[in-house]
A and B are shown apart, each in its own frame.
Chain A
Amino acid sequence: MLELRNIIHRFPESSWELNIDRFSVSPGEVQGIIGPNGSGKSTLLRISAGILDPLAGDVTLSGNELKKLKRPIIARQIGYLPQELSSEYDFSVEELVRMGRYPHTKGLGILNSTDIAIVQQSLAFTGLENLKKRRLSQLSGGEKKRAFLASVLSQKPEILLLDEPASALDLHRQVHFFRLLRKLAKGKIGVAVVTHDINFASLFCDKLLLLEEGLCLAQGPPEKVLSRGVIQKIYGKDVFLGKHPETGRPTLLPALTDKKT
């Protein structure tokens, strides 16, 4: 389990501060991190992945202090997919996915038969088997995201931290992507996903963490977090709070007039 307690972080020459009392990611659950721009979602995820050291607070992974663990040890347990995905060189999909085995290999990173089988599994899981010989430059935005996700999955992590993984995808690709996350959670992987799309977060996540200006505004099941009062506080009277016809989970729609909330 990944656990963060009493986290405080500030950037130099900025009055903005991230201040989170408690945040954890447990195996088998999908947790959505939502909030307006600049609320600290990505910063929280980077601290969780050990990419950024907080000014104060504790980050522990299975009871061990994260900053005392070596990077390959962290990478065997935490898979992190950053928001900006690019490659200086035009690797093939298979080459990229093979790179995910880095924390399990030594020296020149030569893969054994087990590693290769895991790479094939990751390709199959993300539906990239037929595209494995393609170069990254030959992929669509969605395919590229899936290729990077497959690379992270081949690390065989217990915790997956994803920063806006579905942001460039069209609607049906987003649905497929979030269904993939649910499948991963079924396989006992803990997922924390930063997303701007509150409806997807509400429908596909077990728990939500709502941030605003670096502070946790609400945390818990979607029904509790996306309450009328909280939504009104963040979005004013510009959105309509409804219920998903299949699941009854809260959904947001733009309001035609500013009377309905």
Chain B
Amino acid sequence: MKIKAIILFSMFFLAVAAITPWIGSETIRAEEVWNFFLGTHSPQSDIFWFQRIPRVLLALLAGGTLALVGACFQVLFRNPLVEPYTLGVSGGSALGAFLAISIPSLWHVWGPFSSVQLLAVAGASASLGLIYSLSRRQQGISIYTLLLAGITVSIICGGGILRLTYISSPNALVVFQRWMMGGVDIVGYKELMALLPLLLPGFFLLLIHANDLNHIALGEEMALGHGVPVKKVQRNIFIGGGLATAAVVSLVGPIGFIGLIIPHSVRRLVGFDQRTVLPCSFLLGGAVLTVCDCVARTVLAPTELPVGIITAIIGGPLFIYLLVSRQWK
């Protein structure tokens, strides 16, 4: 475990968190921001405290979550190409979200939770559960079945989404299209707070198994021989990863590449010990998505790009570079 690496990544994370809220099409002065606490409101202070800060916090959380889940899933399935969405999570989540968006009678709000979020979570969990049960063998998880099952579930969910698209109102289609592009543009803290009941247990289930994942990387039998309760670890990573991904995807949509690229980059920088890789993946993933969002809202200001486009533009070439340099292991 490399404490120095975690401290360095934390410093980068905090620096990004501190700097990016000040960047945007609207110039904001520090004086206006501090005066907010003295009761003097201005449009700039409201933009800062109710738009930029929640947005930056959501980007930090969402990017961190996707990278953390990606890092855990890549070890659990012993496959470097797995990301949170490979296993049909985004397909299941999108189908659930679209179901809630397109059928008006399903639209409800319970406190900070909306039916879009809850059905997205349910869809993601159902996908993960189905894929897990299909790929489970007595000796462990069959990687080929897992990937095929993931692709199959994604196709089935895609079919369901097409069916809903066919019967949905134009209004619902616009909302769904925007959701699919991915974005962290929220106003206020209510939606952010609504994430926490799902994210925090998810983080807990993932991070308590950081050491166990090192052993799982040696193979299931070797891990069992070392004394790791492999089935419990697999179940918790599944539930934790599913909860956390579903929570994030339900709010920000399917943002690609962060969950795939960041864990690989972190391993190249800090080694393979998951006790270092997991926290560093969270910190770098959060920081990178926040920087990407900062670019997305400033590069064509005052027009904003969906952040998913930026992550794809940066992540695609980086992925090819990693692939060509053959440094997966």
Q: Which residues of A contact B (CB under 8 A)?
A: 46, 49-52, 70-76, 78-82, 84-91, 95-96, 99-100, 102-103, 107-110, 137, 148, 151-152, 155
Task: Looking at the assembled complex, report how far the CB atom of A49 sits from the nearest CB atom of chain B, in whole angstroms.
Answer: 6
Known: A50-B224, A102-B227. 18 other contacts (CB 8 A): A71-B228, A71-B229, A71-B230, A84-B219, A84-B221, A87-B219, A88-B217, A88-B329, A95-B272, A99-B218, A99-B226, A102-B211, A102-B215, A102-B226, A107-B208, A108-B211, A108-B275, A109-B275
Tell whether, in the assembled complex, residue A85 and residue B222 are in contact, meaning their CB atoms are under 8 Å apart: yes
- Which A-B residue pairs are the 5 nearest by beta carbons? A75-B227, A80-B225, A103-B227, A89-B272, A72-B227
Q: Could you tell me the distance between the alpha carbons of A152 and B75 in the complex, rounded to whole angstroms?
A: 21
Q: Could you tell me the distance between the alpha carbons of A155 and B228 in the complex, rounded to whole angstroms?
A: 12
A-B contact pairs, 22 of them (CB 8 A): A50-B224, A71-B224, A71-B228, A72-B227, A73-B227, A80-B221, A82-B219, A82-B225, A85-B219, A86-B219, A89-B267, A90-B272, A95-B272, A99-B215, A99-B218, A100-B226, A102-B211, A103-B227, A107-B211, A108-B1, A109-B211, A110-B1
Q: Which residues of B105-158 are within 8 A (CB) of A?
A: 138
Contact residues on B (Cβ < 8 Å of other chain), bracket: 20 to 34
Tell whether, in the assembled complex, residue B225 and residue A90 are in contact, meaning their CB atoms are under 8 Å apart: no
Which residues on the B side are within 8 Å of A107 (C-beta)?
A: 208, 211
B210 contacts the other chain (CB 8 A): yes
Task: Looking at the assembled complex, report how far the CB atom of A91 sits from the nearest CB atom of chain B, in whole angstroms.
Answer: 6
B214 contacts the other chain (CB 8 A): yes
Tell whether, in the assembled complex, residue A74 and residue B227 are in contact, meaning their CB atoms are under 8 Å apart: yes
Tell whether, in the assembled complex, residue A76 and residue B227 are in contact, meaning their CB atoms are under 8 Å apart: yes
B78 contacts the other chain (CB 8 A): yes
Q: Could you tell me the distance between the alpha carbons of A124 and B329 in the complex, rounded to whole angstroms?
A: 27
Tell whether, in the assembled complex, residue A155 and residue B227 are in contact, meaning their CB atoms are under 8 Å apart: yes
Q: Which residues of B contact A (CB under 8 A)?
A: 1, 75, 78, 138, 208, 210-211, 214-215, 217-219, 221-222, 224-230, 267, 272-273, 275, 329
Task: Looking at the assembled complex, report how far the CB atom of A99 sits from the nearest CB atom of chain B, in whole angstroms.
Answer: 6
Which residues on the B side are within 8 Å of A90 (C-beta)?
A: 272, 329
Q: Which partner residue on chain B sits nearest A74 by CB separation?
A: B227
Tell whether, in the assembled complex, residue B225 and residue A152 are in contact, meaning their CB atoms are under 8 Å apart: yes
Q: Could you tell me the distance between the alpha carbons of A50 and B267 in the complex, rounded to whole angstroms?
A: 33
Tell whether, in the assembled complex, residue B329 and residue A89 are in contact, meaning their CB atoms are under 8 Å apart: yes
Between B211, B217, B222, B230, the greatest number of chain A beta carbons within 10 A of the residue's beta carbon is seen for B222
Tell whether, in the assembled complex, residue A102 and residue B228 are in contact, meaning their CB atoms are under 8 Å apart: yes
Task: Looking at the assembled complex, report how far the CB atom of A58 sits from the nearest CB atom of chain B, in whole angstroms.
Answer: 20
Q: Which partner residue on chain B sits nearest A70 by CB separation?
A: B229
Q: Which partner residue on chain B sits nearest A96 by CB separation?
A: B218
Task: Looking at the assembled complex, report how far the CB atom of B25 sits from the nearest CB atom of chain A, in whole angstroms.
Answer: 44
Q: Could you tell me the distance between the alpha carbons of A90 and B272 in the complex, rounded to whole angstroms?
A: 7
Tell whether, in the assembled complex, residue A81 and residue B225 are in contact, meaning their CB atoms are under 8 Å apart: yes
Given contacts A89-B267, A109-B275, A110-B1, contact A99 B225 (CB under 8 A): no
Tell whether, in the assembled complex, residue A87 and residue B224 are in contact, meaning their CB atoms are under 8 Å apart: no
Tell whether, in the assembled complex, residue A51 and residue B225 are in contact, meaning their CB atoms are under 8 Å apart: yes
Tell whether, in the assembled complex, residue B78 and residue A88 are in contact, meaning their CB atoms are under 8 Å apart: yes
Tell whether, in the assembled complex, residue A155 and residue B226 are in contact, meaning their CB atoms are under 8 Å apart: yes
* Selected contact of B221 from candidates A74, A82, A108, A110, CB within 8 Å: A82
Q: Could you tell me the distance between the alpha carbons of A137 and B272 in the complex, rounded to whole angstroms?
A: 13
Which residues on the A side are within 8 Å of B224 (C-beta)?
A: 49-51, 71, 80
Tell whether, in the assembled complex, residue A79 and residue B225 are in contact, meaning their CB atoms are under 8 Å apart: yes
Which residues on the A side are within 8 Å of B228 (C-beta)?
A: 71, 102
Which residues on the B side are within 8 Å of A109 (C-beta)?
A: 211, 214, 275
Between B1, B208, B267, B272, the greatest number of chain A beta carbons within 10 A of the residue's beta carbon is seen for B272
Q: Which partner residue on chain B sits nearest A101 by CB separation?
A: B226
* Selected contact of A137 from candidates B230, B267, B275, B329, CB within 8 Å: B329
Task: Looking at the assembled complex, report how far the CB atom of B149 sits from the nearest CB atom of chain A, in whole angstroms.
Answer: 19
Given contacts A87-B217, A89-B272, A90-B272, contact A75 B225 (CB under 8 A): yes
Task: Looking at the assembled complex, report how far the CB atom of A27 sits from the nearest CB atom of chain B, in whole angstroms.
Answer: 19
Tell whether, in the assembled complex, residue A148 and residue B217 are in contact, meaning their CB atoms are under 8 Å apart: no
Tell whether, in the assembled complex, residue B226 and residue A103 are in contact, meaning their CB atoms are under 8 Å apart: yes
Q: Could you tell me the distance between the alpha carbons of A107 and B210 in the complex, rounded to whole angstroms?
A: 9
Tell whether, in the assembled complex, residue B215 and residue A87 are in contact, meaning their CB atoms are under 8 Å apart: no
Q: Which partner residue on chain A sits nearest B273 by CB separation?
A: A95
Which residues on the A side are within 8 Å of B210 (C-beta)?
A: 108
Which residues on the B side are within 8 Å of A50 (C-beta)?
A: 224
